Amino acid sequence: MKITGYLSYFYGIIIHPKSTIKSLIEDPNRLRVGFFAVLLLGVLYTANYYIGYMNGHYPASFEPFLRLPTEGYYLYNALFNLPISILSWLLFGCTIYLSIPQNDVRFEDTLAVLGLPYGILILPLMWVPEIVMTIGWPNWYYESWWIQLTVIRVVLGTVWMYVGCTIAVRELYKVSLPRSLFHTIIGVIVALVISLIFLR
């Protein structure tokens, strides 16, 4: 698959998620697309954490679960982020796959359709503003307005990702909207708990 194929999926999940998910389900490269979406998320956030570490950043919006030295916290985040991103995606997929009564859906197809919205829909509201602030205005990182805005954009980014994943579950498993909402929220909670333990 050419890079333009990946980019069309990455763009499509933002602009028209339902038709993009339907196309992905029919694509023989669907698992590769889902994996590279999650890999992109992991690599971009790893770079962001490393730049934050170089700028002397430390967790600002809430107390991290792991008691690591504050001055090197973002270095640990840079080391943990990529494996945790992939592990969260795998556990998210396992949760959905095991919580919905089996039909002809394969586990790798579940991973494929969840990987695209999970990896991409977080980026516009969460990663882009953070990397712009980290590089452009690192001294504003601890201003109260930025911390408040961070809470808002994290909530909105998570909801956007949840909606995209709900569409993916509904299209792949052919279940009702209430069931897809229910199963997706369970999966999102599992993925977020793993992420929150290791990352800020």
Mean pLDDT of the chain: 89
For the residues 38-49, what does the mean pLDDT come to?
Answer: 94
Q: Compute the distance between CA of residue 53 and CA of residue 74 in angstroms, rounded to an integer.
A: 5
Q: Compute the distance between CA of residue 200 and CA of residue 194 in angstroms, rounded to an integer.
A: 11
Q: Residue 197 pLDDT > 80, yes or no?
A: no
Show the DSSP H helices in 64-176 as ranges: 73-99, 107-120, 128-136, 144-173
Question: In this predicted structure, what is the pLDDT of residue 194?
Answer: 82
Count of all residues that appear for the chain in the document: 200
CB 88 within 8 A of CB 191: yes
For the residues 52-72, what does the mean pLDDT come to?
Answer: 72
Looking at the 3D structure of the chain, how many domains does it have? 1
> Which distant-in-sequence residues (6+ apart) come within 8 Å of 31 by Cβ?
108, 109, 111, 112, 115
Band (pLDDT 50/70/90 cuts) for residue 103 is: confident
Q: Residue 200 pLDDT > 60, yes or no?
A: no
CB 180 within 8 A of CB 187: no
Which structural domain range is residue 25 located in?
3-198
Q: Compute the distance between CA of residue 21 and CA of residue 169 in angstroms, rounded to an integer.
A: 9
Band (pLDDT 50/70/90 cuts) for residue 62 is: low
For the residues 14-38, what does the mean pLDDT come to?
Answer: 96
CB atoms within 10 A of CB 178: 8
Query: C-alpha angle with apex 121: 159 to 94, nearest 5 degrees?
Result: 80
pLDDT tens digits for 116-140?
999 999 999 999 998 998 888 888 8
Q: Residue 26 pLDDT > 90, yes or no?
A: yes
Band (pLDDT 50/70/90 cuts) for residue 15 is: very high
Share of the chain above pLDDT 70, in %: 94
For the residues 17-27, what does the mean pLDDT come to?
Answer: 96
State pTM to two decimals.
Answer: 0.90
Residue 29 exposed, middle or buried by CB count within 10 Å (0-12, 13-18, 19+): middle
pLDDT tens digits for 172-195?
999 999 999 999 999 999 988 887
Of 51-60, 75-84, 124-133, 151-160, the one with minimum mean pLDDT is 51-60
Question: In this predicted structure, what is the pLDDT of residue 141?
Answer: 77
